[in-house]
Each structure stands twice: as C-alpha cells, then as structure tokens.
C-alpha cells in the first residue's frame, strides 16, 4: 500500500493530477501485483497493488509522474510469504 498526496504537486493552489504505478519486485515473485492509475489533484489517495504472490525478499516500488515527468520514486524492502508482504 502507498499513500499519494497531490496537495504539493506543482504549486499548492493548482489542481495537478498525477499518474502512478506500484509494483512488487523480487526473484521469488511469481505474480508481481502491478497496478497503475491516476490520482486527481488536491487529494490524498491510498493505493494497493493488485493480486501478488511469491516468496522471499522483495522491493515495493512506487513511481509518480505527471505528463511523463517523474515527480517522485519510492522503494521499500520487504519479505513476501505467499500473499502477504512484511515491510
């Protein structure tokens, strides 16, 4: 899960929508659970990966872009055991 906050995308008074992609990566990941979409401006949204399954060390990666320009990239290590990720 990730929280995308668009209150500070661009100027604080503009409504700037952003696009995101969140995925789980790792050697033991069988289904990466990638999900992408867009978030409207001036909002805070919780996003989740799709169906994911695997075992072992993983990296949860979230990219936020606006019109092809990378605004932010965050990664977090974790451990995946079946459908569950401990991060």
Render pLDDT for 14-50 as a digit per residue (tens, 0 to 9).
677 889 999 999 999 999 889 999 988 888 889 888 8
DSSP for the chain, written as a single string: -EEEE-TTSSSTTS---EEEEEEEE-TTEEEE--EEEEE-SS-EEEE---SEEEEEEEEEEEEEEETTEEEEEEEEEEEEEETEEE-
Render pLDDT for 10-19 as a digit per residue (tens, 0 to 9).
655 667 788 9
Q: How far apart are CA 47 and CA 60, in angstroms?
A: 12
pTM, rounded to two decimals:
0.81
Q: How far apart are CA 41 and CA 39, in angstroms?
A: 7
């Amino acid at each position: 899960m990730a929280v995308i906050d668009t209150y500070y995308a661009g100027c604080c008074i503009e409504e700037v929508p952003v696009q995101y992609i969140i995925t789980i990566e790792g050697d033991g990941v069988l289904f990466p659970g990638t999900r992408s979409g867009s978030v409207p401006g001036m909002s805070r949204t919780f996003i989740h990966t799709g169906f994911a399954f695997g075992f072992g060390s993983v990296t949860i990666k979230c990219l936020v872009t606006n019109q092809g320009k990378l605004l932010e990239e965050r990664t977090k290590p974790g451990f995946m055991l079946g459908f569950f990720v401990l991060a």
